[in-house]
């Protein structure tokens, strides 16, 4: 059996090998994924993001345990992405802590991703790894990211549902109101809800949500029957703010329930297909740009780029003009 057949047959070592090939931007990996591509599109993809110290790894852990213990147990792939970490492939401490709870369960597969391991770019490689887990047949793929940078937002775009995790006492109020990260949230979680300040954090997030989606919250506050312009209930989604204590498992069943509700909303409104199309568009555009750059390099005489760079370094020409000139000569 070749690698893809072994992946489809449930061979976890073959899957790990495929992911390593993808992380290292190897043609064999891309060919393998291309062969598996018709098998993708069945997994539910959930992003979990939040700052350091919110306890989001523990929450992902608990969520995986809950999904495994459900009446119809789901298989779970976990992709833990840390753009600031140079480590990859299961070497980080977080993974070892996680293994303790989830080890030995063949229905769970954990993969750590880091900048250094992702030669094709971290967001790009994460796309491919999630697609490989999807093709391998996992019911649910959880993508865990740290922080609120562009990489996290890019990665969130590939999830069907994005959970943003906050916790009390992580910074002052001005810094807590991160509208950019709130905008990508389908579900908000205030973890460590047993700590002082949790109620305040929940109120703050609700207020921030109201700033970010004023209309949606007006509907919620006034009731659907009052506003003539309000759309039917199923066509809007109000991100719920859920308290959890992940270390104790508290609030996790409500989170699982919220995931189900969001899934139902995505299917009913057709937004799932829309999100998948946008995700495919972003990926195709980015890959096309790489292809065009690679073809340009092959077509150019040696040293043309470096000569232009030299003129920029000597400040004889602005970079934008130099780039336009290079692209022009690349045409003929």
Residues of span 165-204 touching a copy of itself by CB under 8 A: 170-172, 174-176, 178-181, 183
| Nearby residues of 74 by Cβ (< 8 Å), 6 or more positions away | 67, 68, 107, 139, 140
In the bound state with a copy of itself, the residue whose beta carbon lies nearer, of 72 and 320, is 320
Tell me the CB-side half-sphere exposure of residue 73, using CA atoms within 13 A. Answer: 8
Closest CB to a copy of itself among 205 and 259?
Answer: 205
Burial (Cβ within 10 Å: 0-12, 13-18, ≥19) of residue 81: buried
The yes or no reply on residue 298 touching a copy of itself (CB under 8 A) is: no
Q: Whose structure tokens read 């792939």?
A: 77
Q: Is 302 in the site for a copy of itself (CB under 8 A)?
A: no
Per CB under 8 A, 304 contacts a copy of itself: no
10 touches a copy of itself by CB under 8 A: no
Q: Is 225 exposed, middle or buried (0-12, 13-18, 19+ CB in 10 A)?
A: exposed
Residues 98-157 interacting with a copy of itself (rule: CB under 8 A): 114-116, 122, 146-153
Q: How many CA atoms lie within 13 A of 216 on its CB side?
A: 17
> Scanning residues 52 to 81, which ones bind a copy of itself (CB under 8 A)?
52-53
> Sign of the C-alpha dihedral, residues 215, 216, 220, 223?
positive
List 2, 196, 293, 301, residue binding a copy of itself (CB under 8 A): 293
90 sits near a copy of itself (criterion: CB under 8 A): no
Which residue lies nearer to a copy of itself by CB, 55 or 251?
55
25 binds a copy of itself per the rule CB under 8 A: no
């Amino acid at each position: 059996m070749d690698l893809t057949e072994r992946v489809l047959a449930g061979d976890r070592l073959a899957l790990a090998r495929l992911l390593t090939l993808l992380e290292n931007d190897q043609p064999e990996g891309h060919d393998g994924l291309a062969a598996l591509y018709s098998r993708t599109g069945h997994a539910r993809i959930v992003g979990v993001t939040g700052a350091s110290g919110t306890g989001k790894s523990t929450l992902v852990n608990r969520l995986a345990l809950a999904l495994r213990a459900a009446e119809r147990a789901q298989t779970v792939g976990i992709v833990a992405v840390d753009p600031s970490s140079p480590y990859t492939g299961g070497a980080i401490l977080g993974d070892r802590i996680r293994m303790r709870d989830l080890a030995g369960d063949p229905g769970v597969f954990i993969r750590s991703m880091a900048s250094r391991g992702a030669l094709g770019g971290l967001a790009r490689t994460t796309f491919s790894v999630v697609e490989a887990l999807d093709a391998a047949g996992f019911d649910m793929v959880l993508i865990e990211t740290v922080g609120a940078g562009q990489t996290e937002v890019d990665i969130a775009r590939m999830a069907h549902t994005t959970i943003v995790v906050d916790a009390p006492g992580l910074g002052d109020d001005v810094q807590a109101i991160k509208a950019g990260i709130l905008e990508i949230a389908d579900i908000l979680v205030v973890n460590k809800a047993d700590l002082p300040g949790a109620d305040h954090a929940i109120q703050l997030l609700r207020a921030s949500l109201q700033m970010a989606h004023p209309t949606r919250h007006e509907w919620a506050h006034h009731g659907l029957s009052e506003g003539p312009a309000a759309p039917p209930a199923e066509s809007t989604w109000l991100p719920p703010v859920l308290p959890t204590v992940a270390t104790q498992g508290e609030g996790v069943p409500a989170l699982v329930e919220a995931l189900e509700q969001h899934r139902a909303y995505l299917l009913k409104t057709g937004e799932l297909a829309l999100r998948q199309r946008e995700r495919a568009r972003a990926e195709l555009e980015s890959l096309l740009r790489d292809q065009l750059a690679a073809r340009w390099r092959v077509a150019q005489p040696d040293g043309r780029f470096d000569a232009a760079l030299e003129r920029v370094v000597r400040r004889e020409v602005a970079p934008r003009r130099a780039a336009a000139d290079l692209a022009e000569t690349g045409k003929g």
